[in-house]
Amino acid sequence: MIKTIHLTVNGRAVELGVDQRESLTDTLRNRLGLTSVKKGCEAGECGACTVLLDGKSVNSCIYLSVWADGHSILTVEGLTKENGELHPIQQAFVEEAAIQCGFCTPGLVMTGVEIANSGKTYTREELRELISGHLCRCTGYENILNALERVVGRKENGTL
Amino acid sequence: MYDIKETYKARSVEEALALLEGHPGAVLVNGGTDVMIRMKEGKLTDAVLISIMDVPEIIGISLRENGDIAIGAGTCFRDIYHSEIIRGAVPALAHAANQVGSPQIRHVATIGGNLCNGAVSADSVPILLALNAELELAGAQGARRVAVTQFHTGPGKTVLQKGRELLTAIVIPKEEYAGRYGSYIKFGQRNAMEIATLGAAVCLKLGADKTRLEDIRIAFSVAGPTPLRCAKTEAALKGMALTGDMVKALRQGVIQEVQPRDSWRASKQLRLQLVKELGERALRQAAEEAGGTIHD
């Protein structure tokens, strides 16, 4: 059955008819064309479909679109400024070559944005834990952690 | 597309109970991180889902007038991990909450779901067992309170009357946490996104001079058909001095009280080894938290 839902997607209010059996991943990709949201494991394990729901990272593949009614969603498409300037997390991913095949990248960027939005800084070990809901089969995570450290890093002794 | 027949959203406990009664076979869902996987695996088909994620009365952590801690069943693991009340009074539960799934899972998965799914591997359960937590259930016939030690009846099975009852809160009575120290140790193949191969929790109270066990509770997950306590070992250890003999008594006792099985995750033999080893480590960690020193 089709149900009408209201969302704020990347800052824009949208009214949508969605199938109640449909995941948020499918709604964002197929109805709104937001293909940065990747379909990986589709079981909440790999993190490729991660979006921010009211500012918190969630696996959109195991979240029904009807549950998101009335909430706010942010995807990678909502990060770039009008002048084309990248989000600091995206820029750091570019500078550290934290991308290989790119499939895990949008999800990791969104978790990175969530971490940056916390306004705090983190040690490398803390960052490892914070990105533990993402699988990357190319990079070995080192450059991803380097990129995150550029923006939100803190050394063990408390210095930046 | 998920195999869903109909979805409903309840805004109150009363509405959730009315929806349950009106739709026999309907499934309550909060964060959905287990229910959605059950649908994926074809274990739940043609589902009627009643969402309780918008029921404010079952969300949040509070300290009641009498000092008891009440955790709303719809509280997500992230909020439990960050709660000052939980970190201050029962840090082992905060730690256990942070062992569930991944950050994304913990943003939506709830402690109520972890209990009601009845999984033998549920990360929040061993420490709740060791804390003698109590569960508040709401039903059309009224509310009742059940000890968490009486809640699980088999793999995926609980005393919750499906279709008629709803878990509203987890209560940790003041006398069960004040002056007591706990620990939870999870063993898995990896550190994140992992179902426990085995989990061990200890909650203990030391005597005034911190050289003896005044009281101890020991609980395990994935060591039998339900998460379980080791009552005989607890009784045997009570009053013992903090020595190597106490540790040995725990190792020898717990092994008699568990019934782990072979599964593709681990053999029975490995689980028995883990029961001894993690039991000991959980004991040592809790004793250290309590300010005691074990003289081996």
Torsions phi, psi for B269 (to 5 deg): -60, -45
CB contact A42 to B (< 8 Å): yes
Residue where the block lists tokens 């998920």 = B2
Among B36, B189, B245, B82, which residue's Cα sits nearest to residue A61? Answer: B36
Compute mean pLDDT per 10 residues along chain A, 160 residues long, and list them.
97 98 98 98 97 98 98 97 94 97 98 98 97 96 98 78
Q: Give the residue extent of every domain in chain A.
A: 2-78, 88-152
What is the CATH number assigned to the segment(s) A88-152?
Answer: 1.10.150.120
Where in chain B is CATH 3.30.465.10?
60-175
* pLDDT at residue A158, rounded to an integer: 59
Q: What is the mean pLDDT of chain B?
A: 97
Interface of B with A (CB under 8 A): 1-4, 6-7, 9, 32-33, 36-37, 40, 49, 51, 53, 78, 101-105, 107-108, 191-193
**Tens of pLDDT along B226-284?**
999 999 999 999 999 999 999 999 999 999 999 999 999 999 999 999 999 999 999 99
ipTM comes to: 0.96
CATH topology of domain A2-78: Ubiquitin-like (UB roll) (3.10.20)
Among A114, A28, A98, A64, which residue's Cα sits nearest to residue B40? Answer: A64
* pLDDT at residue A144, rounded to an integer: 98
How far apart CA B119 and CA A94 sit, in angstroms, is: 42
Please, are residues B215 and B205 in contact by the beta-carbon 8 Å criterion? yes
Please, are residues A89 and A48 in contact by the beta-carbon 8 Å criterion? no
How far apart CA A46 and CA A49 sit, in angstroms, is: 8
Domain B60-175 has CATH 3.30.465.10: yes
pTM: 0.96
Cα B86 from chain centre: 14
Beta bridge partners of B172: B69
- Please report, for residues B31, B125, B290, the alpha-carbon distance to residue B174 in angstroms, rounded to integers and kept in the order given: 29, 18, 17
Residue range B48-66: mean pLDDT, rounded: 98
Bridge-based pairing state of the strands B47-51 and B4-9: parallel
CATH superfamily for B181-289 is CO dehydrogenase flavoprotein, C-terminal domain (3.30.390.50)
How far apart CA A81 and CA A118 sit, in angstroms, is: 20
Residue where the block lists tokens 């921010």 = A52
Binary contact (A44, B36; C-beta < 8 A): yes
Measured between beta carbons, which residues in chain B are less than 8 angstroms from residue A62?
Answer: 32-33, 36-37, 40
Which run of H or of E encompasses B21? helix B13-22
CB contact A80 to B (< 8 Å): no
Which tokens belong to B263? 């599964």
Positive or negative CA dihedral for B110, B94, B59, A69?
Answer: negative
Question: What single-letter amino acid sits at B106?
Answer: R
Where in chain B is CATH 3.30.390.50?
181-289
Which tokens belong to A91? 């820029």
How far apart CA B253 and CA A111 sit, in angstroms, is: 45
- Report DSSP state, residue A23: B
Size of interface A-B (CB pairs under 8 A): 79
Which tokens belong to A72? 């706010």
